[in-house]
Amino acid sequence: EYRAVIKYFVLKGLTATEIKNELDSTLGDSSPSFSTVKKWAAEFKRGRSSIFDDERSGRPKTATNEEIIQKIHDSVLNDRRVKVRELSNIANISIDRVHNILHEHLHMRKLSARWVPRLLTVDQKRIRTNISQECLDLFKRNSTEFLRRFITVDETWIHHYTPETKQQSKQWVEAGGSAPKKTKTVPSAGKVMATVFWDS
């Protein structure tokens, strides 16, 4: 539980920024956001001792049954980016209980999307594989002549857009699942074509 770790670092005298850096180096993408770290660091500095959420009126302390688990699961499948607090409101249970259901019952975790240059179709991948193999065959036959005559070209659209942060791209995935992918560019109002050539 990261709250216990935050409490420990607060007692050691670390600032919220230093605590966030420590959590990032250990937990990576699973690390809580800076706003969460800052909030709990402030709570513990004010003398709070409990690491658990305060009880809310109308919310049962324990609520783990098949109906609640299914409701949480359906909500996650409907929106992979849904926040834990939103799930808490949907199921009318505590945030700690939502975490328990997600990790212990559904075996899910939230991962940031992995950047890739572009998403290719099966045909595009096949064509690139064939071209690469042909170039490799030419290189093996006469590497000197191949490098002398070979010119590499690449082109890409440069879009005017505000990139999505890693925190914003996080999605819930099942245990053993891979991180989602997204391209480095997204459609926007303006764009320019950049073409680059290389030779030996």
pLDDT digits (tens, 9 = 90+) for 139-184: 999 988 888 888 888 887 776 766 666 677 777 777 777 777 666 5
Burial label for 20, CB within 10 Å (0-12, 13-18, 19+), is: buried
Grade residue 187 by pLDDT with cuts at 50, 70 and 90: low
What tens digit of pLDDT does each residue of 80-133 get?
A: 888 888 898 888 888 888 888 998 888 888 877 776 667 788 888 899 899 999
Q: Residue 115 is which amino acid?
A: W
- What's residue 4's pLDDT? 87
Q: In sequence order, which residues have a C-beta less than 8 Å from that of residue 187 and are 6 or more positions away?
A: 159
Is the pLDDT at 55 greater than 70? The verdict is: no
- What's residue 166's pLDDT? 67
- What's residue 136's pLDDT? 92
93 near 75, Cβ under 8 Å?
no
pTM: 0.39
Grade residue 61 by pLDDT with cuts at 50, 70 and 90: very low
Q: Between residues 3 and 175, which one has the greater pLDDT?
A: 3
- What's residue 133's pLDDT? 94
Mean pLDDT confidence for 65-86: 88
56 near 94, Cβ under 8 Å?
yes
- What's residue 54's pLDDT? 66
Domain boundaries, the chain: 2-111, 115-199
Cα–Cα distance list, 137 to 133, 142, 144, 152 (Å): 6, 9, 13, 16
What tens digit of pLDDT does each residue of 120-135 get?
A: 888 888 998 999 999 9
Is the pLDDT at 60 greater than 60? The verdict is: no
Is the pLDDT at 28 greater than 90? The verdict is: no
Residue whose entry in the numeric block shows the structure tokens 């809580």: 32
